[in-house]
Structure 1
Amino acid sequence: MANAALSPRRLFGRFVPQRHLPTGRINVLPGIGVPMPVGRLVGSSLDASLGRIGSLEVRLARTVGEVKRAQELRYRVFYEEMSAIADARTLMTRRDADAWDAICDHILVIDHANPEVKPFGKTRPRIVGTYRVLRQSVAERHDGFYTAGEYDLQPLIDSKPGLEFLELGRSCVLPAYRGKRTVELLWQGIWAYVLRHRIDVMIGCASLEGTDPRRLALPLSFLHHNCPAPEGWRVRALPHRFTDMNRLSREAVDARAAIQALPPLIKGYLRLGAYIGDGAVVDHQFGTTDVCIVMPVANISERYIAFYGADAGRRAS
Structure 2
Amino acid sequence: MLAMSRGRYEVSTARLPQDIEVAQALRARAFGLNAALDADSFDADQRHILVRDRDTGRLACCFRIGVFEGRAIKDSYAAQFYGLDRLALFDGKMMELGRFCVHPDVSDPDVVRIAWAAMTRFVDAVGIRLLFGCTSFKGTDPSGFLDAFGVLAERHLAPPAWHPREVAREVLRFADLAPADSDRKSATLQMPPLLRTYLLMGGWVSDHAVVDRQMNTLHVFTWSCPVLVPVSFEQCLL
Asked if TM exceeds 0.5, the reply is yes
Q: What are the equivalent positions in structure 2 for 1:40-51 lying under 5 Å apart? A: 46=1, 49=3, 51=4
Higher RCO, Cα 8 Å, sep 6+: 1
Is the 8 Å Cα contact of residues 52 and 58 (structure 1) preserved in structure 2? yes
Q: What 5-or-longer segments of structure 2 have no aligned partner?
A: 231-238
Tell me by how many angstroms 1:139 deviates: 9.1
The separation in 2 between residues aligned to 1:288 and 1:127, in whole angstroms, is 23
Is the 8 Å Cα contact of residues 63 and 98 (structure 2) preserved in structure 1? yes
The separation in 1 between residues aligned to 2:16 and 2:55, in whole angstroms, is 21
Which residue, 166, 172, 176 being the options, matches 2:101? Answer: 172
The separation in 2 between residues aligned to 1:273 and 1:212, in whole angstroms, is 27
The separation in 2 between residues aligned to 1:202 and 1:103, in whole angstroms, is 18
Aligned to 2:13: 60
Comparing 143-152 with 239-248, greater Cα deviation is found at 239-248
Bigger fraction of residues in strand: 2
Q: Which amino acid aligns with 1:301?
A: V
- Local SS of the residue matching 2:198: helix
Tell me by how many angstroms 1:145 deviates: 0.7
Comparing 224-233 with 177-186, greater Cα deviation is found at 224-233
Establish whether residue 127 from structure 1 lines up as the match of residue 24 from structure 2. no
Q: Sequence identity, in percent? A: 30
Q: Which amino acid aligns with 1:236?
A: R
The separation in 2 between residues aligned to 1:177 and 1:260, in whole angstroms, is 19
- Local SS of the residue matching 1:207: strand
The separation in 2 between residues aligned to 1:246 and 1:100, in whole angstroms, is 31
Tell me by how many angstroms 1:218 deviates: 2.9
Tell me by how many angstroms 1:279 deviates: 1.0
Aligned to 1:74: 27
The separation in 2 between residues aligned to 1:245 and 1:258, in whole angstroms, is 13
The separation in 2 between residues aligned to 1:247 and 1:228, in whole angstroms, is 14
For these two proteins, the number of residue pairs brought into alignment is 230
Structure 1's consecutive aligned runs of 4 or more residues displaced over 6 angstroms after TM superposition are none
- Local SS of the residue matching 1:219: helix
Q: What are the equivalent positions in structure 2 for 1:1-317 lying under 5 Å apart? A: 46=1, 49=3, 51-78=4-31, 82=32, 84=33, 86=34, 91=35, 94-115=36-57, 126-137=58-69, 140=72, 144-158=75-89, 160=90, 162-231=91-160, 233-238=162-167, 240-247=169-176, 251-298=180-227, 300-301=228-229
Root mean square deviation of aligned Cα:
2.5
Is the 8 Å Cα contact of residues 103 and 138 (structure 1) preserved in structure 2? no
Q: Which amino acid aligns with 2:217?
A: T
Comparing 205-214 with 101-110, greater Cα deviation is found at 205-214
- Local SS of the residue matching 1:167: strand
Is the 8 Å Cα contact of residues 75 and 95 (structure 1) preserved in structure 2? yes
Q: Which amino acid aligns with 2:19?
A: E
Q: Which amino acid aligns with 1:98?
A: D
The separation in 2 between residues aligned to 1:257 and 1:284, in whole angstroms, is 25
After TM superposition, the score normalised by the length of structure 2 is: 0.85
- Local SS of the residue matching 2:174: coil
- 1:248-286, CA deviations, whole angstroms, 9 ceiling, x for partnerless residues? 577432333333322223222211221011211111122
Tell me by how many angstroms 1:210 deviates: 2.7
Comparing 192-201 with 173-182, greater Cα deviation is found at 173-182
Is the 8 Å Cα contact of residues 174 and 208 (structure 2) preserved in structure 1? yes
Comparing 132-141 with 225-234, greater Cα deviation is found at 132-141
Q: Which amino acid aligns with 2:14?
A: A
